[in-house]
Each structure stands twice: as structure tokens, then as C-alpha cells.
Structure 1
Amino acid sequence: MMGGYQVPGRGPGDDGFDEEGYDESQRAEILEATNDGPSDGNLLTDIAPDYGDDDDDDADDLRMVDDEIGEEDEDADEDARAIAEDEVQEDFDEDDLEDDDDLDDADEDALEP
């Protein structure tokens, strides 16, 4: 047996090996520090070990209150393209595309693939 302090396993089935089969019994985190390219082999060894406990899974979850809703900006104007798309969509939904000559190439390709 080699020297060093062996950190006991955490949880059932922890045999000291990770999923890839590497020996993680010492649970040391050794990272090679690189700065924009090849390094001279600097090693950081004073990093706290990662035991795989992910308690921060919901740290980025958005918490909303029931009465929080988005508001429509009354001053915002739609551009001509958005208005034309809405009109074509309404005609398509109503099956009221009387004159296909009114469609530009992109709209025609979208409706008749």
C-alpha cells in the first residue's frame, strides 16, 4: 500500500473508482493551470475536493410570484414586415388566400413548399 491519508468513501457502492475506472481514493483535485496555451506544468493542489454533492442545482431557478406578469409596451410599433406576416397568417388561418400574386417569394415558399 502506498503512503498518504485515505479519505473514506461516501455513500453505498463507493469503491474508490470513478465511472471511467480511475482510482479516486485520495479524492484529490489536481488541475493543470494554463494561461492561453501550453504551460510549464504548474499544478494547483490546494483545491477543496469535489465529492459530487450538487446542492446548488436549483441556484439558478427563477422564482416568480403569482401576480408577476409581463406587460405589453403600448409605445412599441410593429414594423411593416411583421404586420405583413400577421396579415398573411390571418388569411391562411381563414383559408382566404384569394390572390396568390399578393405573396412575396418567402411567403409563397412557406405556404407552398
Structure 2
Amino acid sequence: MADFTGPRTYCCFKCQNLVAYHDDIVSKDFQASNGRAFLFSHVMNVKEGAKEDRQLTTGLHTVADVFCCDCGEDLGWKYIKAYEDTQKYKEGKFILVKYKITKGSG
């Protein structure tokens, strides 16, 4: 049996800054333009960029890119607004691109 000393974490792949907890993953079934992505209910230690409307696979959304607050790496985006009723569950949640994050040692 594994001996975990704390919650499983995800860090920025570039600088190892803590950006999310495994328990905050809503779904692993997302696709970004540059690879697989995870939907998180909450992330930390990121800065939000400017809001913009973006046409995504699932329709039009208002999003803001999110960047590591330590090294500035673009990690994904935050869903600000979904225009389709079936996509409203994404509002306020975050996409982190899988290859931009690494499992923490926690």
C-alpha cells in the first residue's frame, strides 16, 4: 500500500511551482489544441490573462489564459462564460494542458 505524506499535486513543468491538487480534477477527458488536458475546479499560483471570446470544440466561450505566477508559462485557460446551456458547468473552472503540468512530489 502506498504511503502518501500529503495530497497528490500538480506543478508547472518548467519551474515546479504548485498549481493544482489531484482532488480538484473534474475530468481528464478534455482536448486542447496542443494535446490532452484536465478540467480542474480550482487551481492556484496562476495569473489570469485578458478575457476573450474563443470558439472551442464545444462552442463559443469567454476564456482567460492562465499562466504560472512564478515563471510565466502558459498552462491553459479559465472558463469565464459558456454561451450554450450544456456547457455552463465549465464556468469558473480551469483547463490545464497535460504536458504543461507534472505530478508533484507531495
TM-score with structure 2 setting the length: 0.18
Greater helix share, structure number: 1
* Larger gyration radius, structure 1 or structure 2: 1
Greater strand share, structure number: 2
Higher relative contact order (CA 8 A, sep 6+): 2
